[in-house]
Amino acid sequence: MNKNIAVIRGDGIGPEIVNEAIKVLDVIAEKYGHTFSYTDADMGGCAIDKYGDPLPQHELDKCLKTDSVLLGAVGGPKWDGVPGNMRPEKGLLRIRAGMGVYSNNRPAKIWPQLASASPLKPEIVEKGIDFIIVRELIGGIYFGEHKTYGQGEKVSEDVMKYSESEIERIGRIGFETARKRRKKLCSVEKSNVLDTSRLWKSVMHRLAAEYPDVELSDMLVDNCAMQIVKDPSQFDVIVTENMFGDILSDEASMITGSIGMIPSSSLGATSNGLYEPIHGSAPDIAGKDVANPIGTILSAAMMLRFSFDMPAEADDIEAAVGKVLSEGYRTGDIMSSEDGLKLTKCSEMGDLICRAIKASK
């Protein structure tokens, strides 16, 4: 099978971690008889430096012509002084909207080899951490009107807006995802305060009639934030709006041991998806070959599974990651005082995972 992948290396550690994911994809292609070609595209701070724009239309067009997009990370303090509408992160919002990827899926699953790295008590971790946050990605306050005005004292406004159809399409993703797992869906909102959340809740309950096999529950976002650290085992699939999902998924990543381990997929009406780790560009460690590439490598596995219909290849990557972790190899962010662990550089981690894929039957 031939697939063309748009590659956005981005800023900070982005180029390093993306390079390791490409090494893994190339090994998979050779092993399974595929051909993966790569189209480089610029986004974020590097695009600002090159074009004066965090995502020029011609770079977005490159992405739209490919089969899916693999993204490293964007942003950094170098661009803190640029106008708000030109910040590197605006490139992220623009590519999500341009690709029409309205559903972001972020798994929160603890690898058994990293159980000791979780900040939660061992008895909580032993109950299990294995849930998915389905986040609406191209609506809500991030895409609403933003303005600052006033003479003397400034006033700022950010508008949160959702339509029934926007809520329904992400709600269906939540229900369908729950159907494929343990059939439990928690809808998270702030309906005791926000009109958008009250509409959200009503649409979710209307949809529930079409999914009688899925158990739907409601939870206020502040309570959900507490419950994720109190008893994460209670969750299977969480569906929520854009800003709440952004915050909750970052919190969920930390209880699994390291934000560097978490992949994500963003999909819409087509198979052309956006795949990226959920961490940032970490400019303080850029170029030092110490970043954790596993989140990016697992994002590439999600691309194979969800966009390219290659489940065996995705399983192979995930099994290789598990094998390398079981052998005690760790990048600095997941290193602990356990006996027998081996501190590993970013490039070495990629090589080890490639070796494990080649060795597997």
119-255 CATH pick, 3.30.1130.10, 3.40.718.10, 3.40.50.2300, 3.40.50.1860: 3.40.718.10
**Which contacts qualify for 57-66: CB closer than 8 Å, 24 or more apart?**
60/94, 60/95, 60/98, 62/6, 63/6, 63/8, 63/39, 63/95, 63/98, 63/99, 64/98, 64/99, 64/272, 65/4, 65/39, 66/4, 66/5, 66/6, 66/39, 66/272
- Catalytic positions: 142, 190, 222, 246, 250
Instruction: Write the CA distances from 276 to 157, 280, 303, 334, integer angstroms.
Output: 30, 10, 9, 19
Burial string for 67-102 (b: 16+ CB within 10 Å, else e) reads: bbbbbbbbbbeebeeeeeeebbbbbbbbbbbbbebb
pLDDT of residue 339: 86
Check if 1-110+262-361 and 119-255 are the same fold.
Answer: yes
pLDDT of residue 127: 93
Stretches in the chain below the pLDDT threshold 70: none
Domain boundaries, the chain: 1-110+262-361, 119-255
How many CB atoms neighbour CB 112 within 10 A? Answer: 9
Topology given in CATH for the domain delimited by 1-110+262-361: Isopropylmalate Dehydrogenase (3.40.718)
Instruction: Write the CA distances from 93 to 8, 90, 179, 344, integer angstroms.
Output: 14, 5, 29, 34
pLDDT of residue 282: 95
pLDDT of residue 43: 98
| Model confidence pLDDT, tens digit, residues 21-33 | 999 999 999 999 9
pLDDT of residue 245: 96
Contact 47, 14 (CB under 8 A): no
Residue 89, φ and ψ in degrees, nearest 5: -65, -20
pTM: 0.88
pLDDT of residue 52: 95
| Model confidence pLDDT, tens digit, residues 135-191 | 999 999 999 999 999 999 999 999 999 999 999 999 999 999 999 999 999 999 999
Side-chain half-sphere of 314: how many Cα atoms within 13 Å?
16
Contact 5, 25 (CB under 8 A): yes
Q: Which residue type, as a one-letter code, is found at position 66? A: T
The span from the CA of 119 to the CA of 106, in Å, is 19
Among candidate residues 197, 188, 244, 242, the one with its CA nearest the CA of residue 217: 188
